Structure 1
């Protein structure tokens, strides 16, 4: 595990870009959980995106997604709070979920306008926290932004089969991360297990075609729409899992990141999904 984390940290550092001018970041705790709060200079108050990083529940932290969060802050003109949740296998489910919930509640105690988002495992956590907030009737979230999330789909069908050996993430990798997280059976670990999707916030999702997790977005969107919740999926036919790292060198990845930024801005500032982009 130490070797995996060291490799992932080097991988993230290789692609990392400096924060945009005007973005300040402060490390602090929300609900006792280490977080990093990004703010844009010159803004007194702004809506907040609570962001959960990817890494299969076992990798990553505040530094791995620092540039992503800073660019979302600048591009969407919102505050971003990145959550440094505990990692498996040392801290299996529900540790990461509980940390996300504690941080979300603390942020909500001082901010009325909140959206939640994340990539990969972080997208899973964001969707799960939407369920928890809906069940508890607070905090009220204006939207969810899920970037190639793993939501607990059937690993014996669909894209889990057709993209089982996709570059960047295989179905065997997904199985390993799920087994390490050890949350199977709970809707807060596998949001697609929920049976009632009413009352959830509008969702913007990004699915990478070359990714075993691809179909999870469409299954979740179908469940939301059937429950009367607005949901939009941006399907990326040319991209692989974790393509956010390539946003500064790949035109399709850049276009997708711009759409993600626009979705964050539209949901955070207006509480609605943006017009669909291609």
Structure 2
């Protein structure tokens, strides 16, 4: 268990307190309102630059992958000094399956790229409700299979809804693609919303928001579908070793801890870290949250 180690803690607590007041007064848009925004506006949503720290200099290339159903935008981060490991990273952004794009978390992608010397590909998968399940997952799978060539293994990293897609991707591609590791950052893993940490309300996400997210994402599928709720899978064997990071003040905290237990029971190596006093999405608050760089240090250390 980890905690805030610097005076930045009071800034984070103040920021979260103000955010909660804005949500309570309906002055900050909840999930339902955001879902009604035009697709282009939702896709462009992401952390404000002032929330982050300066990012390492790496080469950035934009491109696309011809998927089975559409052309999928990708953003590649290439290190100045490459590792000799035959491996690369696939990053899947969060945003409740209905917001964000391949630009959403450059701060994390550039740090992983620079410090590990590995290529990082961020995927701009299709968003719900315009494109419900399995559209986004299919896009991630198509990009995974495209980059996993020439014997190179892949490390799959995702945050929040991206953590859900990363876990589901490991299930879907099991035995087909060499996934070396899965890194799930405050992941949404149970669409049936059975985790005890959801109630009473905690910082950030509310149950009503999560119900809306699951409903627009799953479309006509059942929430218990293991590709929507990996924690509902009856077979978690032979999956890649996992690093699971959760935030203690996050309603999704127990999704991560429960999934870590399920993976261990299936014989999958797991490292689980829960960060005390942290809200959901704290990696996007690096300028006011000392734990965000600390968590990236942990990820880099594990993957190195």
TM-score (norm 1): 0.86
Give 3-state SS (helix, strand or coil) of 1:25's partner: strand
CA distance in 1 between counterparts of 2:297 and 2:287 reads: 11
Aligned to 1:181: 217
Deviation string, structure 1 residues 92-138 (Cα, Å, up to 9, x no partner): 0000000000000001124512110100000000000000111xx11
* Equivalent residue in structure 1 for 2:289, among 231, 250, 265: 250
Find out whether 1:109 has 2:149 as its counterpart: yes
Give 3-state SS (helix, strand or coil) of 2:121's partner: strand
Specify every segment of 5 or more residues in structure 2 that has no aligned partner in the other structure, as ranges: 1-35
CA distance in 2 between counterparts of 1:38 and 1:94 reads: 26
Aligned to 1:144: 182
CA distance in 2 between counterparts of 1:43 and 1:201 reads: 23
Aligned to 2:198: 160
Find out whether 1:224 has 2:263 as its counterpart: yes
Distance 1:95 1:11, change over 3 A: closer
Give 3-state SS (helix, strand or coil) of 1:249's partner: coil
CA distance in 2 between counterparts of 1:93 and 1:144 reads: 21
Alignment of 1:46-125 (within 5 A): 46=85, 47-110=87-150, 112-125=152-165
Give 3-state SS (helix, strand or coil) of 1:239's partner: coil
Q: Conserved in 2, the CA contact under 8 Å of 1:128 and 1:188?
A: yes
Larger Rg: 2
Give 3-state SS (helix, strand or coil) of 2:62's partner: strand
CA distance in 1 between counterparts of 2:179 and 2:42 reads: 35
Aligned to 1:195: 234
Find out whether 1:40 has 2:79 as its counterpart: yes
Q: How many residues are treated as equivalent by the alignment?
A: 260
Distance 1:56 1:172, change over 3 A: same
Alignment of 1:5-20 (within 5 A): 6=41, 9=44, 12-14=47-49, 15-16=51-52, 19-20=55-56
Give 3-state SS (helix, strand or coil) of 1:258's partner: helix
Q: Conserved in 2, the CA contact under 8 Å of 1:85 and 1:96?
A: yes
CA distance in 2 between counterparts of 1:10 and 1:83 reads: 15
Give 3-state SS (helix, strand or coil) of 2:199's partner: helix
CA distance in 2 between counterparts of 1:71 and 1:104 reads: 21
Give 3-state SS (helix, strand or coil) of 2:228's partner: coil
TM-score (norm 2): 0.79
CA distance in 2 between counterparts of 1:105 and 1:158 reads: 36
Q: Conserved in 2, the CA contact under 8 Å of 1:30 and 1:107?
A: no
CA distance in 1 between counterparts of 2:227 and 2:79 reads: 32
Q: Conserved in 2, the CA contact under 8 Å of 1:13 and 1:64?
A: no
Aligned to 2:249: 210
